[in-house]
Structure 1
């Protein structure tokens, strides 16, 4: 009797276990079917799921056509994508981008801050923003990606990431291939006239103080140091290595400017146009000799890949021209001394 009872208990336990396993199998099967169903729906609707730069999973069109961005115009134009809407005030300081789209092809969505009403009117199928705080408002209008150029160590990484997000990896590769070829030409142009140990500093002039430009930011920093690979003087390199830049720059006093001067001095004067400058600046050899390379603010306040490409080419030309002028002066002086002697 005892054995029969034990046998019944065992059979009941086995039966229960089978039911549990069957239920688990059914749950897994249902989950797999649901995932497959979602994949099929995405395939039918032409969408896919990506993870954006702040870790959000977003279902986006395979190849969005009506894109709105509140910042990353240069990255889109690099991929041969003209957004339907952007903050066009940015173009006041990224003039190189104006050659990459037809006039009036992009609607202005605001001056500085995007207008939600304007964005909604454009009926976008994708919004790309820098501002994670704006996502909640934007995603009520269309799928929204948060992109952060500071997440990437190079222009190559940045463009490849945007290409992945937009389903345009082929365009990303095309841009980078052209980018590499043109930068190689620019580097060759500089290396022909400049010695390997030459140093370069970019200054942004202000009324009371001035700034040394960081190696990965605006005012030509990304173009000169990161892209062209030029060398800063020791004191500037010390800033790069030990201090965190504030807005792509390090503020210093005019009194110590000579400590940061390289063999080549590059200047932007936007914040002190027409203003007087202290003797510590005007007495610099490069300034007195007229050997300062000057940058136009409307072309050099941007650091997107398209702007950086053109800035690098422009800097290479300017460095080449200045070096030839300096060498010509030296040769003329030597010839003059020979004649006197």
Structure 2
């Protein structure tokens, strides 16, 4: 009788042990699946479905650095053409290594990224998409998303699992716009303004939706000269405007955007046409010596442009 009870008890203990072991095994398997799920994000980009790390540490996103900085992220390397970088971001990116605008494969490998982000399919040079994918998970923006900096930033928040930071950054920007818009309206009322970019010996007038013109006319509500209204939206090919046509703009204020030393600035200084403009005669020309934030779309760029516009018009 004793032996029978002993064997029965032993059998029950053995069964409990096996059930417990199986249960632990199942939990372990579930934990591993959950862990994997929490460390990866599946998104749809311009190329289809892509699986990327949920919290990437080393990111290369050429010409998208504005969105990274807006979300408090330092890239592993920053876009450049020779020594040219996005100057307005250098307070945050001063010590970040440069990488060629066309992302040479060897340079990408040397920077050891765990995520590569392209602004559009056309930004991928030499059809090397598959080669980049072998280096690190690669996300490619859709053109219509990257073209609108708000959409671009929102998508970056999705990619980096920083949706809360994105929402806060956009809310802060809207608050900044509201305050600046009131100051500008108090300062110049219904007076108009234009943005003229001088590069080499050429002059480029910004249409109402090109780069920083979105800030001037869209965000801050500054009046457009009739000439700019007549230009319509920005075309893919941006042709320079002739010096002789500048009087037709009839802008009360002109933001003259150019790096110092451009030959076009000397042409303007010596031109009776330029010196005859009302904005010039009235002292309403404001020289912006860092074109980088005026000639790109982005939250950080727009914030800097707002600061410079307010400072110029309210002093």
Q: Give the TM interval when normalised to the shorter protein.
A: 0.7 to 0.9
Q: How does 1:277-316 map to 2 (within 5 A)?
A: 277=268, 278-299=271-292, 300-316=294-310
Note if contact 1:93-1:301 (Cα within 8 Å) is conserved in structure 2. Answer: no
Give 1:57 shift: 1.3
The residue aligned with 1:320 is 314
Q: Residue 109 of structure 1 is aligned with which of 77, 80, 99?
A: 99
Question: Which of these residues, 224, 231, 235, is aligned with residue 223 of structure 2?
Answer: 231
Structure 1 contact 214–250 (Cα < 8 Å) conserved? no
Cα displacement string for residues 258-310 of structure 1 (whole angstroms, at most 9, x for unaligned residues): 11122212212444355323322221122233321111235433332211111
Query: What TM-score comes out, normalization by structure 1 length?
Result: 0.71
Q: Does the CA-based 8 Å contact 1:200-1:265 persist in structure 2?
A: yes
Tell me how large the CA RMSD over aligned residues is. 2.8
Number of aligned residue pairs: 275
Q: What CA deviation, in whole Å up to 9, does each residue of 1:53-95 have, x standing for no partner?
A: x242111112222111222111111111111122245994633
Is the aligned partner of 1:119 residue 2:112?
no
3-state DSSP of counterpart to 1:109? strand
Q: 1: distance between equivalents of 2:38 and 2:170?
A: 31
**Unpaired runs of 5+ in structure 1?**
1-36, 322-341
2:174 alignment counterpart: 180
Partner of 2:90: 98
Secondary structure of 2:241's counterpart equals strand
* Contact 1:227–1:312 (CA under 8 A) maintained in structure 2: no
For 2:209 and 2:108, the matched residues in 1 are separated by: 31
Aligned with 1:199 (options 168, 192, 196): 192
Q: Distance in 2 between matches of 1:93 and 1:266?
A: 22
* Aligned counterpart, 1:253: 242
Contact 2:87 2:290 in 1 (8 A): no
Supply the distance in 2 between the matched residues of 1:150 and 1:267 (Cα, whole angstroms). 29
2:252·2:284 contact (CA, 8 Å) conserved in 1?
no
Structure 1 residue 221: Cα displacement: 2.2
Q: 1:259 to 1:269 in 2, by over 3 A?
A: same
Moved over 4 A (4+): 39-42, 88-93, 206-209
Greater shift in the superposed pair: 43-52 or 311-320: 43-52
Kindly name which structure, 1 or 2, has the bigger radius of gyration based on alpha carbons.
Answer: 1
